[in-house]
């Protein structure tokens, strides 16, 4: 049984252990604003459009920040950049806390933008830091541990936030986010200096440096392949926007949300968590490309089953199985990109990955929303799953090196 439990070897490395412990704290205690911001906005405006506007602001600033900070991560000390990004997040949370006394919508939207800028920088830089503190043969294990912490927060954080709002109010949630960031700042401050690789360019001329990163990415067929697989899996087969319609019109839930809707949202991260806890064998495999592609195809099949499911239990089983295979997909994607990329360009490539990871689900919401309007929710979901399977199969025929990738070579 021990070989199946999650591989904890990276936690023996002091630098990674500090970072992971801090990330586990912030995954829960630093996620309260994800619930508090839309709740406060809707309370102040009574408009879902305002909530959507805040999401657009957050995504836009995050994309810009991810690309820009990717250049900085390759040209400056990554430890300092990570400190600056996390300090900015802390300041944004304190600003949100102070704004609960003002209840100013414009101030709230500005702070959402600041949060997006800082979050994009920390997400990108963190991905570039891990390969500097963890040996290549333990990258899968390190990414498995990080995913486990992240998805635990995705389940526990919102549940705690929902329970705390009636008793402590939104302001306290923002303050708790800021306090949780203190653990990250301490962990990052304890890291050794992480200067750019020898011969790295100066940080000026950001656009030219960014262009160098995209040219490198375009010339690396393996990296293009994993990005294409990930986009196909997210854009075609991430039907989160249709959960409310499924819950109410297919599975008999009440209008406005109820137990059925909550179960649909919880099923996917539950599958991720259970797989993360039993991912020990995954970290000892070498065929990361074959695993990634197989997981993407399996995810497409799970989404087809979700579209076909007339019974709630089958829909939940399909989503939980989908969470399981997506854990494999995301872990192998991160391990391949981190191991295969030259360290001098790792920040810029991580920035591109951040854009895909954050933009893909948003694009999926748009695609599924329009598709469901024309086809209906269940057919749109099923077609999306089939498109994922077909796209990944075509990519494997075009890029056979993705299937052949061996981490030991």
Nearest CA among 184, 147, 171 for reference residue 30:
184
Q: Does position 218 have pLDDT exceeding 80, yes or no? A: no
Mean pLDDT within 393-400: 94
Other C-beta atoms lying within 10 Å of the C-beta of residue 52: 12
Which pair of tokens denotes residue 271?
């599958």
Residue 357 has pLDDT above 90, yes or no: no
Q: How confident is the model at residue 174 (pLDDT cuts 50, 70, 90)?
A: very high
Show the CA angle centred on residue 97, arms to residues 95 and 101, nearest 5°. 105
DSSP states of 206-268: HHHHHHHHHHHHHH-HHHHHHHHHHHHHHHTT--GGGHHHIIIIIS-PPTT--HHHHHHHHHH
Burial of 371 (0-12, 13-18, 19+ CB in 10 A): buried
pLDDT score at 352 = 78
Residues recorded for the chain: 409
Indicate the pTM of the whole model: 0.75
Residue 395's pLDDT band (cuts 50, 70, 90): very high
Question: Taking each helix axis from N to C terminus, what angle separates 105-133 and 139-189, rounded to the nearest 10 degrees?
Answer: 120
Question: Which is more confident, 192 or 342?
Answer: 192
Residue 4's pLDDT is 61
Q: Is the pLDDT of residue 30 over 70?
A: no
% of the chain residues with pLDDT over 90? 31
pLDDT tens figures, 81-105: 999 999 999 999 999 999 999 999 9
The whole-number pLDDT of residue 232 equals 92
Q: Set out the domains of the chain in order of their start, with CATH numbers.
A: 1-202 (1.20.1250.20), 205-409 (1.20.1250.20)
- DSSP string covering 74-112: HHS-HHHHHHHHHHHHHHHHHHHHHHTTTT-HHHHHHHH
Average pLDDT over residues 272-292: 82
Q: Which residues of 88-119 are buried (b: 16+ CB within 10 A; e: fewer)?
A: bbbbbbbbbbebbeeeebeebbebbbbbbbbb
Residue 384 in this model has a pLDDT that exceeds 80: yes
What integer pLDDT is reported at residue 257 of this predicted model? Answer: 59
Output the CA–CA distances (angstroms, integers) from residue 79 to 12, 30, 92, 188, 342, in the order listed. Answer: 20, 20, 20, 7, 18
Q: Tell me which residue of 272, 221, 265 sits closest to 247, measured CA to CA.
A: 265
Closest CA to 366 of 245, 232, 227, 235: 235
pLDDT of residue 1: 46
Average of per-residue pLDDT values in the chain = 85
Region 220-229 average pLDDT: 89
């Amino acid at each position: 049984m021990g070989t199946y439990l999650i591989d904890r070897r990276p936690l023996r490395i002091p630098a990674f252990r500090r970072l992971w412990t801090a990330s586990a704290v912030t995954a829960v205690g630093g996620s309260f604003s994800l619930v508090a911001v839309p709740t406060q906005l809707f309370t102040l405006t009574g408009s879902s459009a305002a909530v959507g506007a805040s999401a657009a602001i957050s995504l836009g600033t995050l994309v810009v920040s991810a690309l820009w900070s990717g250049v900085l991560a390759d040209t400056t000390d990554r430890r300092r950049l990570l400190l600056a990004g996390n300090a900015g997040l802390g300041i944004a949370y304190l600003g949100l806390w102070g704004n609960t006394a003002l209840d100013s919508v414009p101030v709230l939207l500005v702070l959402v933008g600041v949060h997006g800028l800082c979050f994009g920088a920390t997400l990108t830089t963190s991905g570039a830091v891990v390969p500097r503190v963890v040996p290549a043969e333990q990258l899968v294990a390190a990414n498995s541990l990080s995913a486990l912490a992240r998805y635990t927060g995705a389940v526990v954080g919102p549940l705690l936030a929902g329970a705390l709002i009636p008793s402590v109010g939104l302001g306290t949630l923002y303050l708790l986010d800021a306090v949780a960031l203190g653990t990250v700042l301490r962990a990052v401050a304890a890291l050794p200096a992480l200067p750019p690789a020898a011969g790295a360019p100066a940080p000026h001329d950001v656009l030219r440096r960014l262009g160098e990163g995209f040219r490198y990415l375009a010339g690396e067929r393996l990296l293009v392949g994993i990005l294409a697989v990930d986009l196909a899996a997210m854009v075609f087969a991430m039907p989160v926007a249709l959960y409310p319609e499924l819950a109410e019109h297919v599975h008999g839930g009440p209008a406005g949300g109820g137990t059925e809707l909550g179960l649909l949202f919880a099923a996917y991260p539950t599958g991720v968590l259970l797989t993360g806890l039993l991912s020990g064998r995954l970290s000892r495999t070498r065929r990361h490309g074959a695993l990634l592609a197989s997981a993407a195809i399996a995810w497409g099949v799970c989404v087809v089953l979700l579209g076909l499911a007339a019974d709630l239990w089958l829909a939940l089983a399909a989503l939980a199985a989908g969470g399981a295979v997506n854990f494999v997909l995301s872990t192998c994607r991160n391990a391949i990109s981190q191991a295969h990329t030259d360290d001098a360009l790792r920040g810029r490539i991580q920035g591109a990955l951040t854009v895909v990871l954050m933009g893909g689900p948003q694009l999926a919401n748009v695609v599924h929303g329009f598709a469901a309007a024309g086809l209906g929710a269940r057919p749109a979901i099923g077609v999306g799953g089939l498109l994922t399977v077909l796209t990944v199969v075509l990519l494997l025929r075009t890029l056979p090196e993705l299937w052949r990738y061996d981490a030991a070579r």
